[in-house]
Amino acid sequence: MRTYGPASTPTHPLATAPVSSPAHSVDGFVREFLHELNTNQGVTLSLSSVNDQYLALASTVKNYLMARWLETNRKTRDAKVKAVGYLSAEYLLGRQLGNALLATDLGEIAHKGLELCGLDLATLRSQEVEPGLGNGGLGRLAACFIDSLATMDVPCIGYGIRYEYGIFRQTFVDGRQVEQPDTWLSLGSPWEFPHPEASVQVDFGGHTEKYTDDDGRERTRWVPAWNVLGVPYNYMVPGYLNGRVNTLRLWSAQATKAFDLGIFNAGDYAQAVRAQTFAENISKVLYPEDSTPQGKELRLQQQYFFVACSLRDFINNELEEGFDLHNLSDRIIFQLNDTHPVIAVPELMRILVDEQGFEWDEAWEVTKSCFAYTCHTLLPEALEVWSTELLGRLLPRHLEIIFQINDEFLAEVRATYPGDEIRARRMSMIAEHPERGVRMAYLATVAGTKVNGVAALHSQLLRDKVLPDFSQLWPEKFTNVTNGVTPRRFVKMANPHLSDLISDTIGNGWVTDLERLRELEPYADDPEFQDKFREIKAWNKRRLTSLLEARDGIVLPDGHLLDVMVKRLHEYKRQSLKLLHIISLYEQVVSGKIAASDLTPRTVVFGAKAAPGYKMAKDTIHLINKVAEKVNNDPVLEGRLKVAFPANYNVTLAEKLIPAADLSEQISLAGMEASGTGNMKFALNGALTIGTDDGANVEIRELVGDKHFFLFGMDEPAVAELGAKGYNPITYYESQPQLRAALDMVMNGAFSDGDQDMFGSVVHNLLHQDRFMALADFESYVAAQAKVEEKYADQAAWTRSSILNVARTGFFSSDRSMRDYIQRIWHTQPMI
């Protein structure tokens, strides 16, 4: 079924030429905007709501991009070059309007045009609800990568799921997290366009049959039991000022006709409607688990659903008719963003062998050259293992294919290591305990041309600890690509005044060539530049203050060191360590060990969502809120220590929070955070990092220099050693009075109106388990915080370090990450 191609050969020249949009003058823009308002929203300006105005503005910008999108597609198709197919179950895009205006340079025109209409661009922008189609780092990384590829003129299609409900909206009730559904589509979705005519059928369930084909070959046929439709929704991914507009294609599930016709015919109308709901459930909601897969059937359905749609779409619609699939890897490399899309491997095998009649070995050669795998974690519990019972029930043919891939792989292992049966068992894709299951990371490693970690340390640990047998067998398969972030969204857009200062100083080439920030180094000692730099930080803080006041009713005091810890709530990230530091400062004042006036005025801002089923994480959120309540209201502190915890941290808030921060908290236990990307955003915006030697912190510190980074805590070998020796947290409690006093304060009910049980589980966990060794690093952390305060007291020294952080972290542009992937993994070419 060809679905995208033109119905007939176009004859009129205008049939292939994209229409150009008149929006690139102020007058043209106003005409276009009012036209959209009248015809799309059906209102006149005088009667329009802010939402109408926002939607009309978004459509105006979208129309402008559309011409470039069509042109990009035409050029790419004609060139028949290799593209990247980024397969990711999550894309945490953030708001679209600001980025689209930046990429098209329409910001000024829109601003003036709206002013002529008596409207304010900023007000319209704040109307946008961000598509929160991801949990955290992995989803945001995918969004940064597709931005960079478009900006670098590299053909890429991002494939994913159009969840009807994205990451939950976090609220606090009595300090506890309560989740609300994220109804991001409810006020309209101007950035997407559905293509129902290009829908794809996806099969599930049933059984397989053997048969002999006309040529006398033994073949297998999958006889599925049910199916759904995948409807593609296209999103445009504009490159920065280069006219390229790539595609993000998100799939939405719908019931097929076959699905319910039978039931309708049987007269059970209600059952038929229920069946429809069943199908649509597949893309209903993003799983809010970050790093602990629950093994839920619906999640596997989601994974297969989107990769089946995506492979089918690429093969049917992106390749010219008659394309020889033996050469598939000339035209595509599918990047597997963690194990979530790995079911694509047996799916491609199934297409080639069962549908296209390839011999197994030929199909495997093709498949092996079309995938590469990125691992984003080291936590063993985050590595997905699908039970064979579930896989066999939902995707019987795929399970057979996985078994066969595994058999042949193990034969290779046995041939390489004769007699080493233990090794063969270790390396099997099939785990036998606690139940029989498929280790998706192993499957991805065997099938991928390359396997990469996301920071130098992580890639090394991936080789040495997670996949040692595989890296021994295929050392050349393993590589590192350190993560990056897009400077367009996280510097240029989020920090406009800093961007102007940088451009005024070194020109504006840095936006697409971030290493050029190095040219700022000579200005680090320039008092005039320092003043401007400090003034910008102060402005960013004022902007944050107004936002938090309007958004959360939080009032930030003036002149405080702004200490920020924003990321998912997870024990390994150790929000509890930050909290112990706060409690300890408070306790020392309360007990009279220090005077409030000895404290460096400091506001700690937390932002963190907990997975709804993750009890310890939710208890920690509760405790942060209770500590905030107490600390913020106790006059003993004389207002010198404040804790702010705005609910529902998301990309939109990050864009305001990060540019305002003085201190970036990156305090995971060494060896646990694969990379981190928030750490990069903070450094690029001039925050100094207090951090462990973990993930990309290691590389940040190497680049900015030890004098401009507050390192503390055990390094990974020390963690491993302590773990091997036997870690006993209570000994730290017993030997460190400051730590003990802080924990006692919690235990004695200081933050729970005397209730000594409320946080019993948190304290008990720290004292008796503390899997991530917060207590072991406490002393060193507190000492590093003292150094922070010392430095902050010398504003010139602080500002100098801050400028050097900006100047020396250009390496962390996602453009550089993309260059690394292109050179080491994808071997694709930019179009120019």
Note if 393 is an active site residue. Answer: no
Q: Specify the stretch interacting with ligand 26W by CB under 6 A; choose among 137-145, 148-156, 167-175, 531-539.
A: 137-145
Residue 725's contacts (CB-CB under 8 Å, 6 or more residues apart) are: none
Q: Does 300 bind ligand 26W (CB under 6 A)?
A: no
Instruction: Please pick, among 570, 681, 808, 816, the residue that the annotation labels catalytic.
Output: 681
Please report, as residue ranges, which positions from 475 to 514 form the binding site for ligand 26W (by CB under 6 A). Answer: 483
- Contact pick of 309, 352, 382, 624 for ligand 26W (by CB under 6 A): 382
Nearer to ligand 26W, 191 or 572 (CB): 572
Cis peptide before 434 (omega within 30 of 0): yes
Note if 573 is an active site residue. Answer: yes
Question: Rounded to an integer, what distance in angstroms lies between the CA atom of residue 651 and that of residue 607?
Answer: 11
Six token digits for residue 106: 């329409």
Q: Specify the stretch interacting with ligand 26W by CB under 6 A; choose among 119-127, 174-182, 620-628, 667-675.
A: 667-675
Nearer to ligand 26W, 294 or 748 (CB): 294
Instruction: Please pick, among 60, 367, 486, 677, the residue that the annotation labels catalytic.
Output: 677
Question: Rounded to an integer, what distance in angstroms lies between the CA atom of residue 692 and that of residue 778?
Answer: 12
428: left (phi over 0), alpha (psi -120 to 50) or beta: beta
Q: Does 677 bind ligand 26W (CB under 6 A)?
A: yes
Q: Does 376 bind ligand 26W (CB under 6 A)?
A: yes
Note if 195 is an active site residue. Answer: no
Instruction: Please pick, among 312, 567, 618, 708, the residue that the annotation labels catalytic.
Output: 567
**Is the Cβ–Cβ distance between 814 and 743 less than 8 Å?**
no
Q: Does 452 bind ligand 26W (CB under 6 A)?
A: no
Note if 39 is an active site residue. Answer: no
Q: Specify the stretch interacting with ligand 26W by CB under 6 A; choose among 158-166, 376-384, 408-416, 781-789.
A: 376-384
Six token digits for residue 232: 């593609």
Q: Which residue has the tokens 């699908």?
A: 386
- Contact pick of 58, 674, 714, 750 for ligand 26W (by CB under 6 A): 674
Q: Buried b vs exposed e over 407-431: b needs ≥16 C-beta within 10 Å?
A: eebbeebeeebeeeeebbeebbbbb
Q: Specify the stretch interacting with ligand 26W by CB under 6 A; choose among 282-290, 466-474, 723-731, 800-808.
A: 282-290
Residue 140 C-beta: closest distance to ligand 26W, Å: 7
Note if 707 is an active site residue. Answer: no
Q: Which residue has the tokens 């989020």?
A: 494
Alpha helices in 381-438 (DSSP H): 388-394, 396-416, 421-427
Task: Give the H or E element holding residue 203.
Answer: strand 200-204
- Contact pick of 57, 100, 106, 141 for ligand 26W (by CB under 6 A): 141
Residue 302 C-beta: closest distance to ligand 26W, Å: 11
Residue 339 C-beta: closest distance to ligand 26W, Å: 8
Nearer to ligand 26W, 182 or 673 (CB): 673
Q: Does 137 bind ligand 26W (CB under 6 A)?
A: yes
**β-strand 226-238 against 91-92: which pairing, if any?**
unpaired
Q: Does 138 bind ligand 26W (CB under 6 A)?
A: yes
Q: Does 338 bind ligand 26W (CB under 6 A)?
A: yes
Residue 144 C-beta: closest distance to ligand 26W, Å: 9
With H, G, I as helix, E, B as strand and everything else as coil, classify residue 693. coil
Amino acid at residue number 487:
P
- Contact pick of 308, 454, 762, 773 for ligand 26W (by CB under 6 A): 454
Nearer to ligand 26W, 287 or 529 (CB): 287
Residue 374 C-beta: closest distance to ligand 26W, Å: 7
Q: Which residue has the tokens 């100094």?
A: 688
**Is the Cβ–Cβ distance between 681 and 665 less than 8 Å?**
no
Residue 216 C-beta: closest distance to ligand 26W, Å: 45
Alpha helices in 26-182 (DSSP H): 26-39, 50-79, 97-104, 107-116, 121-125, 137-151
Please report, as residue ranges, which positions from 697 to 716 form the binding site for ligand 26W (by CB under 6 A). Answer: none
Residue 702 C-beta: closest distance to ligand 26W, Å: 17
**For 687, how many CA atoms within 13 A lie in the half-sphere containing its CB?**
28
Q: Specify the stretch interacting with ligand 26W by CB under 6 A; choose among 363-371, 675-683, 735-743, 771-779.
A: 675-683
Instruction: Please pick, among 249, 299, 312, 568, the residue that the annotation labels catalytic.
Output: 568
Nearer to ligand 26W, 338 or 777 (CB): 338
- Contact pick of 32, 128, 164, 290 for ligand 26W (by CB under 6 A): 290
- Contact pick of 177, 291, 620, 650 for ligand 26W (by CB under 6 A): 291
Nearer to ligand 26W, 252 or 377 (CB): 377
Q: Which residue has the tokens 């290779």?
A: 412
Nearer to ligand 26W, 175 or 678 (CB): 678
Residue 577 C-beta: closest distance to ligand 26W, Å: 17
Taking the CA atoms of 435, 439, 443 and 445 in sequence, report the sign of the dihedral they define: negative
Instruction: Please pick, among 95, 376, 398, 439, the residue that the annotation labels catalytic.
Output: 376
Residue 676 C-beta: closest distance to ligand 26W, Å: 5
Note if 497 is an active site residue. Answer: no
Question: Rounded to an integer, what distance in angstroms lies between the CA atom of residue 355 and that of residue 363?
Answer: 11
Q: Does 676 bind ligand 26W (CB under 6 A)?
A: yes
- Contact pick of 377, 471, 650, 828 for ligand 26W (by CB under 6 A): 377
Question: Rounded to an integer, what distance in angstroms lies between the CA atom of residue 587 and that of residue 636?
Answer: 11
Question: Rounded to an integer, what distance in angstroms lies between the CA atom of residue 471 and that of residue 490?
Answer: 35
Classify residue 165 by its DSSP letter. B
**Is the Cβ–Cβ distance between 245 and 72 less than 8 Å?**
yes
Classify residue 225 by its DSSP letter. S
- Contact pick of 130, 313, 665, 673 for ligand 26W (by CB under 6 A): 673
* Count of residues engaged in binding ligand 26W, rule: CB under 6 A: 23
Closest-approach residue to ligand 26W (CB)? 137
Nearer to ligand 26W, 336 or 704 (CB): 336
Residue 418's contacts (CB-CB under 8 Å, 6 or more residues apart) are: none
Q: Specify the stretch interacting with ligand 26W by CB under 6 A; choose among 9-17, 132-140, 204-212, 646-654.
A: 132-140
Q: Which residue has the tokens 């000024």?
A: 108
Residue 494 C-beta: closest distance to ligand 26W, Å: 18
Q: Specify the stretch interacting with ligand 26W by CB under 6 A; choose among 114-122, 285-293, 502-510, 625-633.
A: 285-293
Six token digits for residue 627: 């500590």
Task: Give the H or E element holding residue 180.
Answer: strand 176-180
- Contact pick of 41, 48, 127, 675 for ligand 26W (by CB under 6 A): 675
Cis peptide before 635 (omega within 30 of 0): no
Q: Does 453 bind ligand 26W (CB under 6 A)?
A: no
CB atoms within 10 A of CB 271: 13
**β-strand 602-607 against 688-691: which pairing, if any?**
unpaired
Among candidate residues 722, 677, 721, 720, the one with its CA nearest the CA of residue 696: 677
Q: Does 437 bind ligand 26W (CB under 6 A)?
A: no
Instruction: Please pick, among 68, 492, 532, 573, the residue that the annotation labels catalytic.
Output: 573
Question: Rounded to an integer, what distance in angstroms lies between the CA atom of residue 299 and that of residue 830?
Answer: 35
CB-count exposure of residue 711 (10 Å: 0-12, 13-18, 19+): middle
Q: Does 289 bind ligand 26W (CB under 6 A)?
A: yes
What does each C-alpha distance from 84 to 87, 92, 441, 828 come to in angstroms? 9, 19, 21, 8
Active site residues: 376, 567-568, 573, 677, 681
Residues making contact with ligand 26W (CB under 6 A): 135-138, 141, 287, 289-293, 338, 376-377, 382, 454, 483, 673-677, 695
